[in-house]
């Protein structure tokens, strides 16, 4: 039985979400001792997303095993050959990791709203398909505003406003 691409994908996803769930969230997400009203704790959504990702990774591993048993006679493609054949996707993946790192770095400086708009614009550019440009621009601007209004006004979840400038302060003036 030779591990295939689905097995490696499940393995990477399981390891990533396990690290997020069991290491990063307990260390870096601070939970206050008192949370007013019906506001969820700050670690609720990251934990839910990490649990869903962990379950999906384990499911991908479980589904890869029967596929590996069936394909024992097929030619096995190495990970390096696969990455060379799909070079453009590898570059986009690396740029997306860089984009997320820049997003995490800039969020406290320019605020949630501006950083999220910049991240969405970057992610739409990384798709490489500009046929639905109006939708991309609309979602880049409106979706972060929608998220900001829902979480700040309904659940009273505070977001970083930004030290350099803040679109959220402008939104409150309107």
What's the chain's Rg over C-alpha atoms? 20
CA 54, CA 169: separation in Å to the nearest integer?
Answer: 37
For 94-132, what is each residue's pLDDT tens digit?
999 999 999 999 988 888 889 999 999 999 998 888 888
pLDDT at site 72:
64
> How many helices (H) and strands (E) would you count in the chain?
7, 0
Task: Check whether 138 has a pLDDT greater than 90.
Answer: yes
For 24-50, what is each residue's pLDDT tens digit?
999 988 888 887 777 778 888 899 999
CA 30, CA 64: separation in Å to the nearest integer?
Answer: 37
Q: Residue 100, Cβ neighbours under 10 Å: how many? A: 13
Maximum CA extent, the chain: 66
Annotated domain spans of the chain: 1-76, 90-173
Mean per-residue pLDDT over the chain, rounded: 85
pLDDT at site 13:
93
Taken as a whole, the chain contains a residue count of: 174
Query: How far is C-alpha 40 from the geometric centre of its chain's CA atoms?
Result: 20
CA atoms within 13 A on the CB side of 46: 17
pTM above 0.85, yes or no: no
For 43-96, what is each residue's pLDDT tens digit?
888 999 999 999 999 999 999 888 877 766 666 667 777 778 888 888 888 999
| Residue 167 · residue 112 · CB < 8 Å | no
């Amino acid at each position: 039985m030779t591990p295939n691409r689905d097995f490696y994908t499940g393995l990477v996803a399981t390891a990533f979400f396990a690290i997020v769930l069991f290491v990063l969230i307990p260390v870096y997400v601070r939970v206050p001792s008192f949370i007013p009203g019906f506001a969820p704790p700050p670690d609720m959504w990251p934990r839910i997303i990490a649990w869903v990702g962990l379950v999906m990774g384990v499911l991908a591993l479980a589904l890869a095993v029967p596929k590996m048993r069936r394909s024992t006679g097929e030619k096995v493609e190495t990970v390096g050959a696969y990455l060379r054949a799909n070079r453009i996707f590898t570059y986009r993946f690396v740029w997306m990791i860089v984009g997320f790192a820049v997003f995490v770095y800039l969020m406290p400086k320019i605020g949630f709203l501006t950083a999220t708009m910049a991240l969405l614009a970057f992610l739409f550019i990384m798709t490489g398909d500009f046929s639905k440009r109006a939708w991309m621009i609309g979602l880049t601007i409106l979706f972060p505003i929608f998220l900001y209004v829902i979480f700040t006004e309904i659940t009273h979840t505070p977001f970083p406003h930004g030290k350099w400038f803040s679109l959220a302060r402008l939104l409150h003036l309107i």
